[in-house]
């Protein structure tokens, strides 16, 4: 049986000089090792929820599969922390592709991928989806109110696959990339069209997060937090709209602002 996503821990609470013994809710870490056939492929430290979705999303993100039809069998041993994957067509994965940095000089003015497999799997967005500032605020508010685990622990990330007006699926994990892989796996298993969707995210917009969004195939990333410079350079080249610091009615639009429209009666520039 999987452990719970949170656990209780005895702490000493100090507040305004007062000392008290109490229990606190702590986010659980769960190591999951993925085996492809007879080979150990990767170990992911994650929250113990939606493990099948995360495995599917991770393998797709790494370029091992393109869809669930390429998986012959997927079996999770919850007690030992292993997931066993058999592919329809066996393949020998070159682990160097998942650990060797690649810098391309002809793919855009600043597109710099960390690993060779990113070159194969990150796609330039051609999304025609638009969103208003009010819709950005509403989605972020819905995301923040959707996770009881975050309210309890403050130690997890939340990510949601959205339309401009509603959250379609929300996934939670201690790792921000894991939360996105869970969404990717969900979309693949449900065979959802992705290019017209949006991702709302609780964490920082790092280069890793933008690359995950490009692999999933969305064109708009929303976050309450800040971006990094490499994330914005990648987003600029990959055609992804990044909106950060969405707090109240304020936000910063960093890249491809033509997807942010004034209202539903207006058109993108």
**The two structure tokens encoding residue 55:** 């495995």
**The two structure tokens encoding residue 54:** 């995360």
Q: What is the dihedral of CA 182, 186, 188, 190, to 10 degrees?
A: 180
DSSP 224-248: SS-B-HHHHHHHHHHT-EEEEEEET
**The two structure tokens encoding residue 166:** 């509603």
Name the one residue in this structure whose structure tokens are 């190591």.
31
List the catalytic residue out of 46, 106, 107, 136: 107
**The two structure tokens encoding residue 138:** 């509403």
Helix 229-238 / helix 207-216 crossing angle, nearest 10 deg:
20
Distance between CA atoms of residues 110 and 95, nearest Å: 26
- 46 labelled catalytic: no
- Neighbour count for residue 154 (Cβ, 10 Å): 10
Cα-based distances in Å from 227 to 2, 34, 191, 230 = 34, 30, 30, 8
10 Å CB burial of residue 106 (0-12, 13-18, 19+) is exposed
10 Å CB burial of residue 200 (0-12, 13-18, 19+) is buried
Task: Give the residue numbers marked as catalytic.
Answer: 107
């Amino acid at each position: 049986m999987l452990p719970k996503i949170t656990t209780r821990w005895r702490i000493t609470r100090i507040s305004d000089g007062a000392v008290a013994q109490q229990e606190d809710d702590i986010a659980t870490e769960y190591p999951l090792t993925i085996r492809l056939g007879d080979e150990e492929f990767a170990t992911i430290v994650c929250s113990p929820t939606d493990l099948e979705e995360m495995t599917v999303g991770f393998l797709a993100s790494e370029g091992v599969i393109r869809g669930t039809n390429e998986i012959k069998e997927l079996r999770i041993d919850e007690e030992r922390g292993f997931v066993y994957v058999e592919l329809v067509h066996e393949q020998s994965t070159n682990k160097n592709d998942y650990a060797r940095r690649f810098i391309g000089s002809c793919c855009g003015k600043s597109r710099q991928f960390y690993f060779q497999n990113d070159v194969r799997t990150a796609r330039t967005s051609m999304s025609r989806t638009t969103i208003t500032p009010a819709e950005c605020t509403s989605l972020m508010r819905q995301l923040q109110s959707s996770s009881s685990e975050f309210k309890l622990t403050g130690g997890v990330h939340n990510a949601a696959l959205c339309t401009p007006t509603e959250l379609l699926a929300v996934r939670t994990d201690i790792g921000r990339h894991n939360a996105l892989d869970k969404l990717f796996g969900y979309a693949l298993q449900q065979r959802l069209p992705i290019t017209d969707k949006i991702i709302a995210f609780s964490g920082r917009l790092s280069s890793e997060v933008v690359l995950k969004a490009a692999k999933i195939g969305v064109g708009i990333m929303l976050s309450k937090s800040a971006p990094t410079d490499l994330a914005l350079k990648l987003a600029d080249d990959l055609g992804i709209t990044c909106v950060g610091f969405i707090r109240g009615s304020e936000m910063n639009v960093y890249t491809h602002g033509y997807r942010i429209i004034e209202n539903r009666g207006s058109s993108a520039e």
